[in-house]
Structures are given as C-alpha cells and as structure tokens.
Chain A
C-alpha cells in the first residue's frame, strides 16, 4: 500500500518532468544512432602500398577508391608499422598477398571490399583469385559497431538511469522530503523498494526501446534472443538505479552528483570491453571484476555477437542481480542516518 503510493508518486513526477523522461528514453537512442553513423561511415579512402605488382593489375587499380603507391618491401613494412599506410599488396608466385594494418575494423572492412572488387575484375568467373590476408594488429572479426554496439547499449542503459535516479533521490534529500518521509510510518525498506519499482518501470521501457532501436533501426548484429538482451539491460539499469540512489547520499547537490560521472561511469566504460581488457595491466583487470558494467557488457556481447544462450550468460546475470541486491541493502542501511527504524 505504502509502496504503491511511492511508485505512483514517482510515475507522476516522471510524467510531469518530460525532459527527464526524454533523457532516459530518447537520449540513449540518439547517441546510439550517432555512434552508428560515426562507425558505419565508409567514406574513408585507404592508402595502400604496392610491391611487385603485375602491369595488368596496377592498371585496374586506377578505378578504385584508394591511394596506391609503389614501394619496396622494406619501406612498405616500415610505413605499415608506423601506421602511415593501411595495407601492403604484394604479388608473389603463389598469388596476391594482402597485409592489413588491422587496428581499425572499419578500415579493414573497406579494404576487404576493395580487394574483392579487384579480384572479381581480374577473374570474374569466381573466387579463383584467393589472396592470403594477414593482419598486423587485430583480426578480421566484424565491423566496429557490431563489435562494441552491445557494450554501448549497456553503457547508455546504465548511464542515464544512474544519473536520473541519483539526482531524483538526491532531490528527495535536499528538499527535505526524505526527512519528512521519515516522520511518516513508511519503513526504510519500503521506501527503497518503492524507488526500485518506480524507476524499474521506466527502466523496462528504456531497455525495450534501446533494444528495439538498436536491432531494428540501427541494424546491429543480433544473433541471440531478444528476451535475454532485455533481461540483461534491465538488470544493468537496476544496478545503475540502486547505485545512483546510494551514491546520492554522498553528494550535497546536483553538481556533486554529476561529478560521479568521471569517477563511476567513465572507468566502467573503459573497462567494460570497448577496449581489449586482456591487454591491460593486471590490476586493471582486477578492477573490472568490481564493475557491474563489465558483466552486463560481456553478457550483451555474448548474446548479440556470439548468439549465446542462457548458460553462457548465467554467471553475468547472477553477478548483476547480486550487485543490485547488495546495493539495495546498502541503501536501506544508509537511510539509518535519517531514522533508526
């Protein structure tokens, strides 16, 4: 009954605050769209070094969207290492050899398309012309957006819920309504759970919108089950919401709440799989164990890119649930500052 009153109040507040509502529902989609545009742009014109290319081939290259230069093997190798060219195309007795710099998936992709064009013009019959392709860095994986799109879904689901729930609970403190609530018979756990449910409703809507938008509109790679994506996104949002309300206890105003972004959000983004964690120093890897976002991002990647099912993400789901429950309990304890009961 009391919890229901809390939930309804939170919903009313949201409906009366259209901007905040837009922030958690529309902003993530907007930024995801922006990111997809940034990483899908194929306008890049690669620079390719040519080593010992037959006359017949180099005449064909004129028509391609790329810069070609003739180099010796040594200069080409040196330039590839320092990153001033994107690839080396060599013709050996066994056939063409393509060495890609490889660190930027979007460049890799345009390079492979380019090579395919050349190959099909040389021997239209079929793929009789097989190149041996090697990568200086990285691998052939997929497009950049496909690979970290799932991480971005997690990041934005987390970020916006963290901020809105944190600030709205903070406002409850600064306007005195929290103290006022402590003069009513509402129990501390009812208050915390009421908040979790109230914000949870908006988190569900947000999770569904983000997932639908990413998969249907942005055409993100999606190999697994949409329900699992929703589950993980929702759990991430739950963690964000409980963490936001908890940390609001350590902020005295909205600005101090915003200061948690570089402290709490940014490190999580860096360690959540946008960058390769295995290549980081060991203490950073340990740090990522404490970060909810790294579990959420891992699970989302498993589902969307590798098509994994429940078994592969179960651990992530349990850990995320564990985070939420622990932080909820911490929240109930923090409220003791206001009332012992």
Chain B
C-alpha cells in the first residue's frame, strides 16, 4: 500500500478550554485535490495551520511526506496560502515575491523566472512593480497565491484561495491547480464555493471540529441521496430537512 501524502491521526486541538478539532483522522493521498468543506468556524483553517506546522496539536500526530510535523525540512516543500492576506503593503508585489522566494532558497535567474511565471499565472504581470497598498482585494488574493506557488511546492495548502477573484480568473486558476495535481502536486483547498467543491477529487466534510464525511463528490451525493454538492453540504452542515 502506498503511504498517504498527509496522514492525520487522532488529532485534537484546543484553544484554551474550547476544543476546536476533535479526534480527527484523515489520510490524504498524493497528487489529488482534496477539498475541505464545512460551515464557518468548523475548524478548517485550524486544521490547515496544523498541517503546515504553524501550530502544534494537543493530542494526535500529523505526518507530511512521511515526516512528523512540525519539521522545517518539510515546511520547505509546502506552499501555504493564508485565509487573510499577509503581505507587506508598503512594498511592491515584486519585492514581496522576491522576499518570500529567498526564504525558500530561490536565487538568481531561477528566482526571477519563477516570479515571472507565477505572476503570469495569476495575471498580475503588468502590476508587478506596483505597491501592494495600491492593490485591490482580489489582486492581493492572487498575489498571495503566487507567493504560495513560487517555490514549486510538492504540497499546496490553500485556505479559501479564490475569495474575491472574478469567475474568469477563477476558472484559469482552477485549471492550473488541476494541471499541478496531474504533475504530482498534492493540493488541499478550503472553499465555500460549491462549483469548486465539485472540481475536487475528494471532499472532507468538517463540522464542529469533526470529520463527518470523506469521499469523492459523487459518492457524497449518492450517500446523502442529493443531486448536488450544495444539498449534500447542507445535509452535512446540519440542515437535515
């Protein structure tokens, strides 16, 4: 049996006394797009941060690429996009990308080439030298995505990557994600958009800190006897009627 790319075992996470993630176990295979779905406050961001090694669990273990997290060696091979943009707004987009690229060890020609590639991908090439403070909300989102992609990570953790991005661009970003996954990148993405959920190879439904379902979109629709992912989501989200 092939080892999963990300292995979450009996994970529990508390903030002070509140349990935010409750005994979660999840095996995420290589080279697939896995969607993380669930109502607001379900614990999606918390789970992504734990996988990224930015926080430590209270109980349980997380292995990424067969290494126990947190591990700086693995962090190098991860790409992370936070739910809220964390950018240096007084710097230009180029300076931001350049800074993060260097933290991942890119330099010289490769770095320049990668910066151009990812900016092309998110359609920001003409705004490369603009200060981020002059960016619109969607442009900032795209720049954050570019930063997550710049070092060609093997695992991509994207926390609501397409919020505020127009449908045309969203389409092209998703086809890029599909291409990346075909090339072997493992992608975890949280979303509230149902047509995006349908594009995922598999979906994990999270509610109140627990995984209540984990399967392909088709299987989830079948299991709930619903005709759309949206209805299946509503079913799992608590609107049983």
Contact A12 B95 (CB under 8 A): yes
- Distance A182 CA – B55 CA, assembled complex (angstroms): 9
Q: Is A137 an interface residue (CB 8 A)?
A: no
Closest to B74 in A: A185
Closest-by-CB residue of A relative to B73 is A185
B169 at the interface (CB under 8 A from A): no
User: Does B2 reach chain A (CB closer than 8 Å)?
Assistant: no
Question: CB-CB < 8 A to B90: which residues of A?
Answer: 13, 16-17
Chain A interface category by residue count: 20 to 34
Q: Is the CB of B103 within 8 A of A179?
A: no
The smallest C-beta distance from B217 to any residue of chain A, in angstroms, reads: 28
Known A4-B102, A176-B82, A179-B54; judge A9-B76 contact (CB<8 A): no
A341: which of B70, B95, B102, B107 is its contact (CB, 8 Å)? B70
- Asked if A13 contacts B88 (CB within 8 A), the reply is yes
Interface bracket on B: 20 to 34
What separation, in Å, do the CA atoms of A288 and B84 have in the docked complex?
Answer: 44
Cα distance A183–B52 when bound, in Å?
Answer: 6
* B56 in the interface (beta carbon within 8 A): yes
Given contacts A2-B103, A185-B72, A338 and B54 within 8 Å (CB-CB): yes
Which residue of chain B has the shortest Cβ distance to A9 in the bound complex?
B99
List, in ascending order, chain B residues with CB within 8 A of A40's CB. none
Q: From residue 11 to 56 of chain B, which have CB atoms closer than 8 A to chain A?
A: 52-56
Which residues, 151 to 181 on A, are CB-close (under 8 Å) to B? Answer: 175-177, 179-181
CB of A187 closer than 8 Å to a CB of B: yes
Partner of B54, one of A1, A12, A183, A187: A183
A177 contact from B86, B95, B104, B107, Cβ within 8 A: B86
Contacts of A13 in B (CB 8 A): 88, 90-91
Tell yes or no: B234 within 8 A of A by CB: no
Residues of chain A within 8 A (CB-CB) of B53 are: 183, 339, 341
Using A179-B54, A185-B75 as known contacts, say yes or no to A1 and B102 having CB atoms under 8 A apart. Answer: yes
CB of B236, distance to nearest CB on chain A (Å): 29
The verdict on A186 contacting chain B, using a C-beta distance below 8 Å, is yes
Most interface-central of A1, A176, A184, A338 (chain B CB within 10 A): A184
In the complex, the answer to whether A16 meets B86 with C-beta atoms within 8 Å is: no
Residue of A nearest to B83 (CB): A176
In the assembled complex, B87 has its CB within 8 A of some CB on chain A: yes
A179 contacts B82, CB within 8 Å?
Answer: yes
A5 CB within 8 Å of chain B: yes
Residues in A6-27 with C-beta less than 8 Å from chain B: 6, 8-9, 12-13, 16-17
Q: A5 touching B54 by the CB < 8 A rule?
A: no
* Chain B residues engaging chain A, CB cutoff 8 angstroms: 52-56, 70-73, 75-76, 78, 80, 82, 84-91, 95, 98-100, 102-105, 107, 131
Closest B residue to A337 by CB, please name it: B55
Least distance between A174 CB and chain B CB atoms (Å): 10
Point out which of A5, A9, A180 has the most chain B C-beta atoms below 10 A from its C-beta.
Answer: A180
> Would you call B86 and A180 a contact (CB within 8 A)?
yes
Q: Which of A16, A176, A177, A185 has the most CB of B within 10 A?
A: A185
Do the beta carbons of A5 and B103 come within 8 Å of each other? yes
- CB closest chain-A residue, reference B107: A1
Q: Looking at B54, B87, B89, B105, which has the most chain A CB atoms within 10 Å of its CB? A: B54
- Give the CA-CA distance A129 to B213 in the complex, in Å: 104
| Proximity bits, A94-136, B CB within 8 Å = 1, else 0 | 0000000000000000000000000000000000000000000
> In the assembly, what is the distance between CA of A1 and CA of B103, in Å?
8
Residue pair B70, A185 in contact (C-beta under 8 Å): no
B100 partner, pick from A4, A16, A182, A184, beta carbons under 8 A? A184
A339 to B104, CA, bound (A): 17
Measured between beta carbons, the chain A residues less than 8 angstroms from B55 are 339
Q: Are B103 and A181 in contact (CB under 8 A)?
A: yes
State the CA gap A183–B216 with chains docked (Å): 29
Question: In the complex, are the beta carbons of A177 and B91 less than 8 A apart?
Answer: no
For the complex, what is the distance from the CA of A78 to the CA of B165, rounded to whole Å? 83
Q: A12-B95, A185-B75, A186-B103 are in contact. Are A339 and B70 (CB under 8 A)?
A: yes
Which residues from A are CB-within-8-Å of B131?
16
Report 20 cross-chain contacts, Cβ distance below 8 Å, ordered by A residue.
Answer: A1-B105, A2-B102, A4-B102, A8-B99, A9-B95, A9-B99, A13-B88, A16-B91, A17-B90, A177-B87, A179-B54, A179-B86, A180-B82, A184-B100, A184-B104, A185-B73, A187-B72, A338-B54, A339-B54, A341-B70
